Every structure is written in C-alpha cells, then in structure tokens.
Amino acid sequence: MTETVGAAARAARAAALDAWLAELLPDRPGFALLALGGLARRECLLHTDLDLLLVHDGRSDVADVADIWYPIWDAGYALDHAVRTTREALAVAEQDVKSALGMLGARFIAGDATLAASLQSALRDDWRRHAHQRLPALRELTEQRWKRHGELAFLQEGDVKEARGGLRDVVTLEGLAAAHVTNLPRRQVREAYQRLVDVREALHIAAGKRVDRLLLAYRAPVATLLGLAGPDALARQVSQDARIIAHGADTAWRAVDRWLGSRRRIVSRYRQVRRPLAAGVVEQDGEVVLARGVTPSEDPVLPLRVAAAAATASLPIAPATLEALASGCPPLPDPWPPEARHAFIALLGAGTGLIETWEACDQYGLVERWLPEWNLVRALPQHNPVHQYTVDRHLVQTVVEATAYVRDVARPDLLLVACLLHDIGKGLPGDHSTAGEPVARRICERIGFDAAEAAVVARLIRHHLLLPETATRRDLNDPMTLTSVVRAVGGSEALDLLYALTRADAAATGPLAWSTWKGRLVENLVFLTRRRLAGGPTPTTPPPDARLGALAAAPLPAVRIEEDRITVVAAERPALLPAVAGCLALHRLEVLAADIAAVDGRIVIDCLVKPKFGSPPQQDLLTADLRRAVMGALPIEERMAARERAYRRTRDPAPPPRVLWLDHVATDATVLELRAADSEGLLYRVTGALDRVGAPIRAARISTLGGDVVDAFYLIGDFSNPDRRAQVAAAVLRAVESTGETGES
C-alpha cells in the first residue's frame, strides 16, 4: 500500500484540517466547532468534503463568528455546515433521524470544550431515551437506501459507501450500539470497514475526484494502490467485506426487533418458550439456539442439524450458537455418516431459507469445514454481465431455484448437490466444467454418496452447459447433434436431472440468461433426446419444400412473416443471406437461427427472429424491404454505416474475438463458431465475409449473452486444409473488427 492510502494518511489529513479549522475560529467564549462525518471519524480522504457544526450558547454575535465558512469555501472544499444552539440541535435530531445519527459522532475541534461536551452528552442521552421512536425510522431509512443502491457484495459497480454492506451500514451499527440496544460491531466487521475505507480512499485517488462507485474502469488502479494482485482480487475482497458487514447488520437489526417487541409485551423472565426444531435444536425468541444440555464437542453433525432446522423454519441462527458450533464441534469424519448427509440434503432443500442460513454459516467458518473446496469460489467475481451474483452466491441461488423441480426427477438429492457444485471449477484454471468434474466427484464421495451416485453428479457438472449450448448453437435437425447429446447424457434419469439443473442455473444467473425462445429450444432438444433414448423415431422439422405451400406459387422474391419466423424465397444469387440478415438488423430484429436450402432452383432462407426491443416492425414495410434487399436494391451497407455512427458508444475493453473450427459435430458440414463482442450489424458483416470467400452457409445458430455472441455457422464444402481455414477465419475476424464494436448484432 502506498503512503497516500491507509489509516495513517487519513489521520494525518484530519490532524492538518483540525489545526487549520482551529485557527479559523475566533477566540470567543460560548462557541465550539465540531466535526461530523468523515472528519469526525478522522477518515479524511484526498477529495473529502467537510461536515461541520458550529454550536453556541445563544449569543448575539453568532453572525460574525459564522464568517468561518468563507475561507473554507475559498479553499475549494465542499462544505455542509450548520450553526445551532444545543436546544436547536436537539430539535433537529427529534425531527430528522439521519441528522440525529450524524450528530452522535460529533467530535470537538476547537472553542468551548465544555459547551461541546454538554452537547455531545445531551445528544447521546436523547438518542437513548427516544430509541423506540428513532430506530424504526432509522430502519426504514436504511431499507430505502438498500433498495436504491443494491447489495455491494454482488454488484459489479457498487457504491462502497451507500450500498448494503457498505460503509454507511457500519455507522448505523454504531448508532444502534449507542442506543444500548446492540453491542458494538464485532472485530470482523470493524476490520472489513477499515478495508472498505481503504478502497474508497484509493478510488478517490484513482479517479482524481470524489467517486464512491467502484466502476470497472477504476478497479485496476485501485487494486494497484492497495497492493492487491489485480482487479479480481479487489472485487473478491470487497465482496467478502460487504458480506461481513451485511451479516452484522442483519444480526443487529434482529436484536433491535426483539428489543422493540419486548417493549410491547410482557415477557416472564422465568418462562421462555422454546420450540423444538430438531434433535438438540430449538427456537427461542425468534432465533435458532441449542437445547439445554447439548454438548457441541460430542456431536460433529450438530452444525448441519442446526443449519437444516434454521433454513427449513426460515429462522436466523443466534450468533452465540454459531460461535459455539464453530469453536466447539469436532470435524466430520470422512466419509460423512448418513445422518450428516441427510441433514445436508435437508439444508439444501429448504428453499429460500437456505440463503440466509448458508451465509451465516459461511461467516462463522462452518461451510469451509463441510466443504473445504468452497474457498475456491467464495466471493469469486463473474466476468459476464449476464450474471447478477458472485460465483458462490450464484451456486446457492441455483440450489434454491432447483427446489421447484425436485418432484420432476428420480434423485432430488443428486440434483441439489449438483446445483451447489456445478460451477465449483470456476475457481480453477481451464474450462470450469471439466475442472469441476473431479472436484465434485471427490466432494460427493466425502459426503457419503457411493461411487455410482458420485459419477452421476460428476457427469452433470461436466455437461451442465450441454443443453443450452446445443439448443442455441447446433442444428437440431442434424442427426449428429442428438447423437452427441445422447452419448453425453447417458440415460433418461440423467437427462431429467440435467434439464432441471439447466433451468435452475439459468434462473439463478439473471434475466438475460434465459428467454422464451431459448426455453422453447431447450425444451425441444430435451423432447427429441428423450425420444431417442426411448428408442422411438426422432421427429424432425419438415424440409423447406414441405413448408412453402402457397409461397411457392408467389412471384419471386417471396416473403412470409409469421409470429417469430420469416421465410424468404428467391432466385439463386450471391449474398442472399447477408442481404436478409442486414435487412432484419435495420428493422431491429435479432436473428436467432437461420436455415438455407436450395429447392427446385430456388433458395429458401428460413429465420427464427425476435425484436430486440419494442414492438415488431410493420409487416408490409418489412416485406417490401426484404424483397428489395434480396434483389440488391436496398442500400444496406450505407444504412448500416449510418446506424453504426448514430449508435456508436464507448465500451469497456473486451477480449479479442475468436474463431473456432468444430469437426465431427455435423453430418454434412463443418461448423465455424465465432465468439465476439456484440455489435451493430455483426451477422450481416460476418455472413457477407463468408460469402465473399466462398464459404456457403447451410445453417446458422445465433446466441447472444449480454454483450457477447457465440454464433455457429454450418459451412458446406471442404475446410480440412489449414490454409483454407486461416483464410476464412481471417475474413470473419476482419468483418468483426470492421466497426467500433458498438451496439448489438
């Protein structure tokens, strides 16, 4: 860490400001200058603002003394200031809980120390006396802030001050403790707070101004200033610290709820209701605690039993209970006894109650005792904006989503475990599906599953992306597609498990990871695979000539527009698919799949489409433009260039585009797969490039994930020669890079 970042640097800035402000205050009795906010806490950042309170005893010359603000403004500081008597300050605290909380931390700088101490004491006494009114208002204010700013632990560009788990929450926790309702934040929370203050300070330095959102552009310089390995290490540290603080906030607010509830009812100190939940586990006062007489040191399964009971009942585990479990219970044997495995499955199957319970257990080190491999993914950031959670939180959410499908599979226990472990390989080098397979197998065997059961889970982890990737990137009418899926799945029970895992994974990823069309494609793939596994005939899409009907008799070029399908029939001529793709892009239609066939001397282009946003285009206008496009009468390139200029925007640096050649995945074609950042008219440019280098396309499958695409093109012809492949790949990459990579394809 450089000398400009850290508690010492902040304290030095605070001391310098204290001395300067003290010189500004006239030497008159009955006045005191107090610091609020960051200066009060001696957390002066490089681009700090000043929050000051000038308190007086009611003297008439207050206006002269208040001239202190002018040199502060002249020095360029952002200043929040007030001039009040003690009575006025208390009146403000009564009306505004945010101001009351801020004044609780007031620190004397200069002037009448006795007056300042009197105000500080009066504010603290008033806060305690009126806590039953102030704390509900503070709770509402806090929840509104959380709703506005989201959860810092899971945001890619979170506000380190205002988001849930950020710095503001620790100030609130200190306010709760000042009301004598909760204890001061525990050591782990205070340490997390200091690290987040370091992050905020480095963020100000990196940005050269006051910035509290950890924008992606600032991650690398902030990590350097903090001496961290890189942006990922920074994101992981921020996530972990935010979760520590958020957990501390949850615990404290539960204590507040209990305290407020105790004021509304008479509770006998001799008769506390303890409701049994499991062996050695009871509910008391809204929390899960250990039953009387339970000895943690004699029961290694007790933590899992407590966690399962808490998650099932959707109740929090008391902090003292978590500490007792973490420090007093022996480790589980290897393999686990059946009782432990059953409790673990009960925990995973608890539904939404799993989230808070898992997080609490993780905060106290219990999860890594059950699963040491969890350290691989804890707080691990995701690099695709499609994901809304860190890897570990995504895994837990996937388990929660999977509870909707437990009645659809023969082995719900294996489904839940596979959901928990499906991305465990993201903490290892290489392809995470491949890397995670042996890790998941070892975990399953340690949990107590037999070798065959562990193999099922390992297979699910290895192929957990199989269904969505095949459905969106491969031609389902090609017999080799189903053959490869059947070979990977192995059986109908495994297919059911994989289908449930796929849907749960997508739901836990975020709204951009799934759509109606993708769901329909995956459902169709599962149907076809199940038919093949059962030995029945595999239905295929009718050939193009069987779908033409009345369109065959129409003058060429002919166009048919259905709800999500557009068919164009034209006389054979160069660049037909690029013309259709470009026209559809101009009409804001995204091509999801395209099939091309020659029928009786005509070319049939069949496209599955959806609007990128808004309503579909007018059919008559789209029909006319498609006819003009395939006849070469629509100035597509000129209009696309204008569209690119109009919608050009700066994007974060993206990995370079890649071209992959996939052999033996199609019966009569070689598949070229393009992975690139999405951009305006990308499909139009790439199909045009393939046409110009003589690489005919039989089919295309277009898959967009957030700002990236994975497009598969089934090319007809011989592409076994490396030089030929290099020529085609170079043309495709030039097409990708021929724009500023702005907009969408």
**What tokens were used for 631?**
């006849």
Q: Which helix (H) or strand (E) holds 598?
A: strand 589-599
Provide the token pair at 711. 């497009």
> Counting beta carbons within 10 angstroms of the beta carbon of residue 522, is it exposed (0 to 12), middle (13 to 18) or buried (19 or more)?
buried
pLDDT value, residue 1: 44
pLDDT band at 271 (very low <50, low <70, confident <90, very high): very low
Task: Please measure the distance between the N-terminal and C-terminal CA atoms of the chain and give it in whole angstroms.
Answer: 43
Task: Judge contact between 176 and 252, C-beta under 8 A.
Answer: yes
Per-residue DSSP letter, 317: B
Of residues 2, 74, 11, the one with CA closest to residue 43: 11
pTM of the model: 0.85
Sign of the alpha-carbon dihedral angle for 719, 720, 726, 727? negative
The CA distances from residue 183 to 133, 186, 187, 391, in Å, are: 19, 8, 11, 32
How is the beta sheet containing 558-561 ordered, strand by strand? 558-561, 565-571, 602-611, 589-599, 697-705, 708-715, 670-677, 658-662
Angle between helices 576-586 and 619-630 (to 10 degrees): 150
Can you give the pLDDT at residue 597?
A: 84
Q: Report helix angle 167-178 to 231-262, nearest 10.
A: 30
The three-state secondary structure class of 587 is coil
Q: What is the pLDDT, as a whole number, of residue 28?
A: 84
Nearest-angstrom CA–CA distance, 444 and 414:
9
Q: Is the peptide bond before 557 cis (omega within 30 degrees of 0)?
A: yes
95-116, pLDDT tens digit by residue? 999 999 999 999 999 999 999 9
State residue 269's pLDDT score: 44
Residues 6+ apart with CB under 8 A from 139: 253, 256
Measured CA to CA, the distance from residue 457 to residue 493 in angstroms comes to 12
Q: Are 508 and 502 in contact (CB under 8 A)?
A: no
Using one digit for the tens of pLDDT, what is the confidence trace for 679-721?
Answer: 888 999 999 999 999 999 999 998 877 678 889 999 999 999 9
Are 65 and 28 contacting, i.e. CB atoms less than 8 angstroms apart? yes
| b/e code 707-738 from CB counts within 10 Å (16+ = b) | bbbbbbbbbeeebeeeeebeebbebbbebbeb
Query: Tell me, what amino acid is at 482?
Result: L
What's the pLDDT tens digit per position in 289-314?
999 999 999 999 999 999 999 999 99
DSSP, collapsed to helix, strand or coil, labels residue 649 as: coil
What CA–CA distances, in Å, run from 227 to 46, 112, 223, 584, 661? 18, 43, 6, 50, 41
Question: Among candidates 175, 161, 170, which has minimal Cα distance to 189?
Answer: 170
* Separation CA 529–CA 497 (nearest Å): 13
435-444, 452-461, 535-544, 716-725: which range is least confident on average?
Answer: 535-544
